[in-house]
């Protein structure tokens, strides 16, 4: 008698399980990459906004718009 693991339905079930696991890994990786990209974008945006605010706050009071040296 042949090995039960070699039956077509057993092979198909194993193939589907492996495919589902691979798809799940790809989905998890895509979510992580998206999260990393969103975090990098907003971190950069926040850093740029903070630098702009600091420049505005550190201007000289003489109205010439020069940045004060600290």
- Give the tokens for residue 70: 């600290």
pLDDT at 63: 57
pLDDT of 12-68, one tens digit each? 778 888 899 999 999 999 999 999 999 999 999 999 999 998 888 887 544 555 555
CB 35 within 8 Å of CB 41: no
pLDDT at 61: 46
Q: How many CB atoms lie within 10 A of CB 6?
A: 8
Q: How many CB atoms lie within 10 A of CB 22?
A: 10
Alpha carbon distance 70, 39 (integer Å): 31
More confident: 2 or 28: 28
pLDDT at 16: 82
pLDDT at 57: 83
């Amino acid at each position: 008698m042949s090995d039960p693991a070699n039956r077509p339905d057993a092979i198909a079930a194993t193939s589907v399980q492996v495919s589902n696991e691979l798809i799940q890994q790809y989905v998890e990786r895509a979510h992580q990459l998206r999260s990393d990209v969103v975090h990098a974008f907003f971190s950069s945006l926040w850093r740029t906004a903070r630098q702009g605010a600091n420049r505005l706050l550190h201007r000289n009071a003489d109205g010439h718009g020069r940045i004060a040296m600290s």
